[in-house]
Amino acid sequence: MVQTLSKITLIIICILQGIAAQDFSLDKSIPKVKLAPIIKSLVLPGTGEFSLDNKSRGRVFSFVESALWITTVGSFLMSNIEHRKSKVFAVEHANIFVAGKDKEFWVDIGNYDTREDFIQEHLRFRDYDAVERYKNNEWDWDWKGSKSHRESFESMRISSDRLALAGKFFIGGIVVNHFVSAIDVLYLQNRFLSTGKITFVPRYEPINSNLSYSLTFQF
């Protein structure tokens, strides 16, 4: 679900920015760079384009920014919900005490049916530090012989982690969108070339979910 959400969002971003980022001849009517529009887009994507009366490009960057923020907040909220659900599920089916438990504990209970199973395996590995960690009965758990319950918990925990990771990924997209909008304003002001043509095209690779940008200068 997380991978699908990420791919859909990236595809939308590519399509929208692709509409705005078409081949264009640099405008010769602007003799020098104005810092105010660049700073505006760096703070809030699209506002710099609006200040240069390029509303179509401004709307694209503004829409992408809104979509990224909504997706980011949604990812973290869903991650938190899944995390809470997994804890409640573990309390109900594994007889655990939630207080004072760290991330490593939640990973361990998703991989072993009981605390005793964990201890015995790590004794075979001579991992005595791990065994010492769970010597206190407050760290006990028992999935009551139901492997399906443990697997359901593990599925919820992994889903929560993936959603949180997706949220961090989209935060990166927000940062990129700010810089791309500022650079776009710079291009619109004829910063680099007085004549010529720039091709600015976003690229999305669905195999590894990579989003990149291609810049081509023609003299």
Residue 118 pLDDT level (bands cut at 50, 70, 90): very high
- Report the interhelical angle of 147-188 vs 35-43 (nearest 10°): 170
Sheet holding 197-205, edge to edge: 24-25, 197-205, 210-218
* Whole-structure pTM value: 0.70
**Lowest-pLDDT range, 9-18, 94-103, 116-125, 150-159?**
9-18
Tell me what pLDDT residue 107 has.
94
For position 130, what pLDDT does the model report?
86
- Checking if the pLDDT of 3 tops 70, the result is no
Residue 166: helix, strand or coil by DSSP?
A: helix
Q: What is the per-residue pLDDT for 177?
A: 93
- Residue in the block written with tokens 């009981």: 114
Higher pLDDT, 4 or 69: 69
Hey, is 198 helix, strand or coil? Answer: strand
At 53, the pLDDT band (50, 70, 90 cuts) reads confident
In percent, the amount of the chain with pLDDT more than 70 equals 71
Does 26 or 176 have the greater pLDDT score?
Answer: 176
What would the pLDDT profile of 23-47 be if each residue is shown by its tens digit?
444 444 445 667 888 899 999 999 9
Average pLDDT over residues 96-113: 92
Q: State the angle between helix axes of 2-20 and 147-188 in degrees (0 to 180), rounded to the nearest 10.
A: 10
Contact residues for 94 (Cβ-Cβ < 8 A; gap 6+): 109, 141, 142, 143, 144, 149, 150, 153
